[in-house]
Amino acid sequence: MQAIRILIVGFGNVGQGFFELLTRVKGRLGLNVVVTEIIDRRRGHIINPKPSILNEAIQGRLLGDKVEVDEIPRLISESNADIMCEFTDLVVRSKGEPAFTYLATALRSGKHVITTNKGPIAFHYDELMELSRRYGKLVRFKGTVMAGTPSFNILNLLPGAHVESFMGILNGTTNFILTKMYEEGLSFDDALRLAQQLGYAEADPSLDIDGLDAALKTIILSRVIGWKHELEGMEVRGIRGIDIRGYGDKVVKLIAYADKDKAYVKPIPLDKNDILAHVSRNLNALRLRLDTLGELTIIGPGAGRYETAQAVLTDLVDILNAMRH
Ligand SMILES: NC(=O)c1ccc[n+]([C@@H]2O[C@H](COP(=O)([O-])OP(=O)(O)OC[C@H]3O[C@@H](n4cnc5c(N)ncnc54)[C@H](OP(=O)(O)O)[C@@H]3O)[C@@H](O)[C@H]2O)c1
């Protein structure tokens, strides 16, 4: 049988991590798939990449035909791949473009899609679901919330369960900063600097520390559950300049919360006997309140090259299983 063809768009950390993980495990998992194309703004348009591409990709130079961003939708449309994996950067000011256009183009040209990019899912959820229905192709995005750690996809294991609310620690960078402030007595500025030195925080950390990253994840979780929250009108407060003294015994965490009526992200002091108060360093956590099980809490990594590649592999196997039926 002919192998299922994969097109990767965006070949940075996550793209390379996924390519490497797939190369390593596909034999063991019996996956009849092959990456036939890579399109990347910096590295160009690469046809039939060999595993050795990873040694060169890390240097970030052009490895195939040069591409202009404007021509990427056409290249996606013309590609004969069966599945497109989209790993380009989140752009909030353009509400997830051009990634949304890439995903929409792939669906319209008959490809299933996987993305780890929060922008198109948080800002264009309804449109993507409509395109998915219209063209009969799947949209998967596990990596947008808690990387490969099960989050909303755990609901597939709980048929009939109704989510009443959720509460979580969905941003690892801010959790790392708060942990360092508690454990080592660092000021906010020193803890942020340390997070940047260790590569947990970007040079421009505002998406994380002002709460927007957690807010987009809150919207994505909400949409999957069926609630229509949007960024506009949502209370979003981060931890910039936070002083953790003055909360007594309590432990402040940047909490994302939603139920059907409201959604917010803000620093909240938690009791020491709350499990979430013990989620430390850059770990993430999600506590679902379900009508069948009561509280269910999941704790695990929320970012990283291989941690996010795991999410893509989970989505890929899901799509391959659906294609078989
Ligand atoms: N890294 C993680 O732990 C993690 C976890 C969960 C989700 N994510 C999400 O996954 C996505 C990829 O993350 P990453 O860490 O792999 O980022 P990255 O290392 O910056 O890689 C992104 C790659 O995509 C290219 N690119 C950017 N915009 C493009 C465009 N419009 N068209 C074509 N190529 C484009 C970039 O090229 P240039 O070098 O020219 O910019 C770069 O090679 C992001 O949306 C991120 O938010 C990441």
The answer to whether residue 272 is catalytic is: no
| Residue 248: count of CB within 10 angstroms of its CB | 6
Q: Which of 9, 62, 88 to mutate to test the pocket of ligand 1 (most atoms within 8 A of CB)?
A: 88
Query: With a 6 A CB cut-off, is 282 part of the ligand 1 pocket?
Result: no
| Active-site residue (options: 217, 253, 260, 272) | 217
Question: What is the b/e burial string over 112-136, where b = at least 16 CB atoms within 10 angstroms of the residue's CB?
Answer: bbbbbbbbbbbbbbeebeebbeebe
pLDDT tens-digit profile of 187-220? 999 999 999 999 888 878 999 999 999 999 999 9
Q: Which of 311, 287, 309 is nearest to 297 (CA)?
A: 287
Looking at residues 257-286, what average pLDDT do you find? 97
Percent of the chain with pLDDT over 70: 100
Dist. CA 263 → ligand 1 center (Å): 27
Class of domain 152-301: alpha beta
Q: What is the predicted pLDDT for the residue at 258?
A: 98
Specify the residue with its C-alpha closest to ligand 1, atom 29: 88
Give dist(CA 284, CA 178) in Å, integer. Answer: 13
Q: Where do you find CATH 3.40.50.720 in the chain?
A: 4-148+305-324
pTM over 0.85: yes
CATH superfamily of 4-148+305-324: NAD(P)-binding Rossmann-like Domain (3.40.50.720)
List, for residues 95-134, the tens digit of each pLDDT value.
999 999 999 999 999 999 999 999 999 999 999 999 999 9
Q: Where in the chain do CATH 3.30.360.10 domains reside?
A: 152-301
The pLDDT score that the predictor gives to residue 1 is: 83
User: Do the Cβ atoms of 105 and 76 come closer than 8 Å?
Assistant: yes
Look at the block and give the residue holding tokens 């909490």: 255
